[in-house]
Amino acid sequence: MATKEEVDLARRCFLMRATTTLGGLGLAATSIPFVSYWLPSADTEAAAGPVTVDLSPLKPGEQLTVAWQGKPVWVIRRTPEMLDTLPKLNDFLRDPFSSEDQQPAYAKNIARAINPEYFVAVGVCTHLGCIPTYRPDPGSISPSWLGGFYCPCHGSMYDLAGRVYKNVPAPLNLVIPSYTYQNDHTVVIGEDSPVGAK
Ligand code: FES
């Protein structure tokens, strides 16, 4: 049985999730490189099957979001500069080497990806389930910020590989779903990749 405090937190989180989603759509028109957000229809939400995503519209630094199993899944095309930030952050992260079971074996590497250029992750905060915002600009959260994801609900922070910072409420890195490449520009989310592919 949830305590009153837990119920209040969950309710606040639900409201924040709705606000974050709308806020994300607003930001799309301004500063954040963002391609699309596909809200799940009832049919899509019910479908648990794989989702095929065409990566060709994504420019370097851009994010797209698709719905899979009723959850937002992000694909971000990371630049070499973004990838360069990852090893610099290890000391500030709770699980820099992805020891916890939050990703398939083929994404257990510093980029947490099959192909480091494309980051695929479930966009749900591991604290209470809000949707973090994509904040790629260095310095946009704090002077030492090198880019990543920020959860406005209770201030959790993740780097550009979805690795959670120390001393924030979220306990775990973002989840990497099972996925595979159909070809260089097409990924299938919800279908497992042979280990070591690409
Ligand atoms: S839901 Fe609490 S920090 Fe993200």
Q: Please state the atom number of ligand 1 nearest to the C-alpha of residue 155.
A: 3
For residue 33, the Cα-to-chain-centroid distance in whole angstroms is 14
Average pLDDT over residues 5-30: 42
pLDDT digits (tens, 9 = 90+) for 24-73: 333 333 345 555 545 445 555 545 789 999 999 999 999 999 999 999 99
Whole-model pTM: value is 0.81
| Burial of residue 173, with CB atoms counted within 10 A of its CB: 0-12 exposed, 13-18 middle, 19 or more buried | buried
**What would you measure as the largest C-alpha separation in the chain, in angstroms?**
50
pLDDT digits (tens, 9 = 90+) for 121-151: 999 999 999 999 999 999 999 999 999 999 9
For residue 87, the SS3 value is helix
Output the average pLDDT for the chain.
Answer: 83
What is the pLDDT at residue 29? 32
Query: What is the whole-number distance in angstroms between the Cα of residue 168 and the centre of ligand 1?
Result: 9
Average pLDDT over residues 11-16: 47
Is the CB–ligand 1 distance for residue 169 below 6 Å? Answer: yes
What is the pLDDT at residue 9? 47
pLDDT digits (tens, 9 = 90+) for 161-172: 999 999 999 999
Is the CB–ligand 1 distance for residue 127 below 6 Å? Answer: yes
Confirm if 144 and 69 have CB atoms less than 8 A apart: no
For residue 33, the SS3 value is coil
Confirm if 153 and 128 have CB atoms less than 8 A apart: yes
Confirm if 145 and 164 have CB atoms less than 8 A apart: no
What is the pLDDT at residue 194? 79
Dist. CA 89–CA 144, nearest whole Å: 10
